[in-house]
Amino acid sequence: MIKECIILAGGLGTRLRSAVPDLPKCMAPVAGRPFLAWVIDYYQKQGVERFVLALGYMHEEIEQFMAIEYPDLETAISIEDEPLGTGGAILKACEQTVCEDVLVLNGDTIFTVDVSKLSVFHEMEESVCTLTLKPMEQFDRYGVVGLRADQRIESFREKQFYESGLINGGVYALHVPSFLALDLPEKFSFEKDYLEKYYSTLPMYGQVQDGYFIDIGIPADFERAIQEFQNKVF
């Protein structure tokens, strides 16, 4: 069972700046609480015990919040002095991890993944990285992930309009030693320079989970979260 989690919370949040001008994106208030609190609380309930926060922009705000609201939570902080891309942020955060397998997720997205189910599958397949995939209909904001019959990743298709498909839900089970063994640069995209580069040669799998999903990266979905979280119980 995966008990450790990296949360990517270092982005500038430029698309959300009009709605949340003076906070890191993950600290945007939703139903009376920073969005990050909803993420942490959900994954604590799923059995995650240790959180590594990959921070950058306005990291002091997040560190202060964590110290006040989660004083007893086992945490580690990884700070980017300059933007390293999603891959670089994960690579740097891996220096703070203590487990061989960790979850990786975004601080501005909630996908209510069954971590136990993901952990069992990830370990059973001896996967270096397992993506959680969300079925979606009529969308153009996300690319589509194709699977083989054995659930190994078969393809990544670019963003465009799709009637239906499986999107990358942004929650990964990552085997840290395999990730660190690659010759990865300091700055890179996890999606483009790791997943899309290595899926055909390394054992990467996808697991379909149809839980609640929302990404507050744009104002329209941030407003939707505010409405939906009023009565939400994760």
The answer as to whether 12 is a domain residue is yes
How many whole angstroms separate alpha carbon 53 and alpha carbon 164? 33
pTM: 0.95
Burial of 142 (0-12, 13-18, 19+ CB in 10 A): buried
Q: What total of structural domains would you count in the chain?
A: 1
Q: Are strands 153-157 and 144-147 parallel, antiparallel or unpaired?
A: antiparallel
- For the stretch 42-99, pLDDT in tens is 999 999 999 999 999 899 999 999 999 999 999 999 999 999 999 999 999 999 999 9
Residue numbers of the domain that contains 65: 4-227
- Cβ proximity of 114 and 191 under 8 Å: no
The answer as to whether 223 is a domain residue is yes
The answer as to whether 134 is a domain residue is yes
pLDDT interval class at 231 (50, 70, 90) = confident
The answer as to whether 234 is a domain residue is no
The answer as to whether 233 is a domain residue is no
The pLDDT, as a whole number, for residue 99 is 98
Residue 20 has pLDDT above 90, yes or no: no
CATH number for the domain spanning 10: value is 3.90.550.10
